[in-house]
Structure 1
Amino acid sequence: MRLEKISIQINNDNIINSLDLKINSGEIFVLMGPSGSGKTTLLKGIAGLLPFASGKQTWENGTGTTGLVFQEPRLFPHLTVVENIAFGLRVRGISVKERKAMALNFLKNLQLESLENRYPHQLSGGQQQRVSLGRALILNPDLLLLDEPFASLDTSLRLDLIEWLYELQRNLGFSILWVTHYIDEALSVADRIGIILNGGLQQIGIPSELFQKPASEKIAQFLSLPNRFSRGQWRKWFQYELNGLQTQDRGWIDPKHLQLIDEGNRSGEGNIEEAACIISGFVTKVRPSREGYSITVLADSKSLEVNTTGWKRVPKLKEKIRIRVPFEHIHWYSE
């Protein structure tokens, strides 16, 4: 599916502004952006629920269909699991016997084989959302539109359903335009990610491109990239001119690439070559993580985040600490 110069208005306000987008066959395209950026409006426009003020939508084979799944399952409470899944087939005029057979056969994909006669109130939240997905997928849409489908579920169930849907998509080969505000969700499923701000797509790329080379500080801020500082601040810490970065005003570095050095044990510094610097500061926060600890250090009125893995001694609050920063792990981008 391709969108060309699409604009969508609500109450005469431009919500989507001259947006271009192409979803490839069999692709999972994840759309991310802050609240109010136009994500849901765009999905509704693609699904035909909102009119385009301008622009056009085209399909590779001339025509195409979509299936839209919202955050809430929105099941029919008086219909069973099988009847909910088969509802779209009923609208299409398929006979009772045929649509029931198709729905029962589809239950295996949904991992709901033994629940066909239950009603929505007898299902868990995850089961309800799988029924909602099944209701859309049984119609074999060319593009499945997902509007944060697992956001209301607890973390462990959300992760399980993400993995389940990813495997289902890879097996069946349909395309997905998936809206989420969870970065971990985007990274676990996306072939490509698009960042939408103020009704326009600001950057599209594979996940590694977006994180390593954000197109602007606004995108870096939205992605919550840590340890983002100006080139001037990095130059101050490294104490030499950073050559070859004339068009790149800022840089960020992953906390796992920073090394804490105990102030009482200088032997941990190693050889401080030109491509690394040592920053002194004070510990302002210590939080446990899965791998070790997440430590915040204040240096030159700037906060640096450092992640440790199995560090034997946990620094104390207000303790003076030193951080080794390797230049090669800084990702540079434009303001």
Structure 2
Amino acid sequence: MQLERIKIQINQSIIISSIDLQINSGEIFVLMGPSGSGKTTLLKGIAGLIPFTSGKLRWEDKHGTTGIVFQEPRLFPHLTVLENIAFGLKVRGIPAKERRIQALDFLKNLQLESLESRYPHQLSGGQQQRVALGRALILKPDLLLLDEPFASLDTSLRQDLIEWLTKLQRRLGFSILWVTHYLDEALSVADRIGIMFEGAIQQIAAPDALFQNPATEKIAQFLSLPNRISRKQWNKWFQSELNLPTTQNRGWIDSNHLQVIDRDCQLSDINREVSSCIISGIVTKVRPNREGYSIQVTSENNLLDVNMLGWNKIPKLDEKISIIVPFEKIHWYTE
């Protein structure tokens, strides 16, 4: 599926300004962006629920179909699980016997074989969402549109359904355009990720490339990349002009790659490579996590987040500490 210069205007408001996007066959493309950036409007436009003001949608084989699933399951309350799943087949004019056979067979994919006669109010949230997905998928769409389908579910159930859906997608081979605001969800499923601001896609990349090379500081901030420091400050800490392209004027480093120097160790005893620097600062926050502690250090009006493994020798608030920063672990980008 390919979008060419798509624009969507509702009344006098331009929601989608101009979007070019290609979703490859069998791909999971995740779309992320702040609320109000136009993600849901774009999905509705692709699904034909609202018209494009201008632009074209093209399919690889000239014709294609979509299915859409929203955050709320939107099941028909007066229909059973089996009837909800078979509803699209009924609309297409498939005879009752044939659509029952197809729906019963699809229940196996949904892992809902024993629930065919239940009504939506008798199902859990996760079961309802699987029925909603089944109602869309039984029509064998070329592209499944997902608008934060698991956002209302608790974390463990959300993760289980994500795993279930991605396995189903790989087995059946359909493409997905998946809107989510959960970064962990995006990273666990995406072949590519698009970042959308104010009705336009600002960057498209594979997940690792997106993190290592955010196109702008605005994108880096949206991704919550830690320790985003100006090149000028990094130059000061490394005590030299860093050999980088002039456009790369900002760098971030993962909190796991900063190492706190043991308080009992003298700085003069540290055997470090030229490709690292030592930063001194004051501890301003200490928080436990599953692997140890997260601490925040203030140095020259900059905040550094550091993850410490283990539970021993944890710095105290207002304590002065030193941190080793390896140059090769810094990711550079354009502010």
Normalising by the residue count of structure 1, what TM-score does the alignment of the two structures yield? 0.98
**Partner SS for 1:244:** coil
Counterpart residue identity of residue 271, structure 2:
N
Which residue matches 1:241? 241
Which residue matches 1:179? 179
Identity within the alignment, %: 74
Give, in whole Å, the separation in 2 of the partners of 1:19 and 1:6: 5
Give, in whole Å, the separation in 2 of the partners of 1:48 and 1:313: 59
8 Å Cα contact 1:269/1:324 also seen in 2: no
Which residue matches 2:230? 230
8 Å Cα contact 1:261/1:268 also seen in 2: no
Which residue matches 1:295? 295
Q: Deviations over 1:245-265 (max 9, x none)?
A: 311110000000000113332
Counterpart residue identity of residue 191, structure 1:
D
Counterpart residue identity of residue 111, structure 1:
Q
* Structure 1 gap ranges (5+): none
Give, in whole Å, the separation in 2 of the partners of 1:269 and 1:329: 23
Q: Does 1:317 align with 2:320?
A: no
Which residue matches 1:116? 116
Which residue matches 1:48? 48
Give, in whole Å, the separation in 1 of the partners of 2:31 and 2:244: 33
Give, in whole Å, the separation in 2 of the partners of 1:80 and 1:309: 51
Which residue matches 1:87? 87
Which residue matches 1:328? 328
Q: Deviations over 1:81-132 (max 9, x none)?
A: 0000001001111111111111111001001111111110110000000000
**Partner SS for 2:240:** coil
Aligned length: 335
8 Å Cα contact 1:263/1:320 also seen in 2: no
**Partner SS for 1:24:** coil
Give, in whole Å, the separation in 1 of the partners of 2:243 and 2:114: 65
Counterpart residue identity of residue 29, structure 1:
F
Q: Deviations over 1:107-165 (max 9, x none)?
A: 01001111111110110000000000000000000000000000000001001111110
**Partner SS for 1:297:** strand
* Structure 2 gap ranges (5+): none
Cα gap change, 1:73 to 1:268, in 2 (>3 Å): farther
Which residue matches 2:251? 251
Counterpart residue identity of residue 99, structure 2:
R
8 Å Cα contact 1:281/1:320 also seen in 2: yes
Which residue matches 1:155? 155
**Partner SS for 2:232:** helix
Give, in whole Å, the separation in 1 of the partners of 2:244 and 2:311: 35
- Please identify, of 137-146 and 301-310, the stretch whose mean Cα deviation from structure 2 is larger: 301-310
Structure 1 residue 295: Cα displacement: 1.0
8 Å Cα contact 1:261/1:269 also seen in 2: no
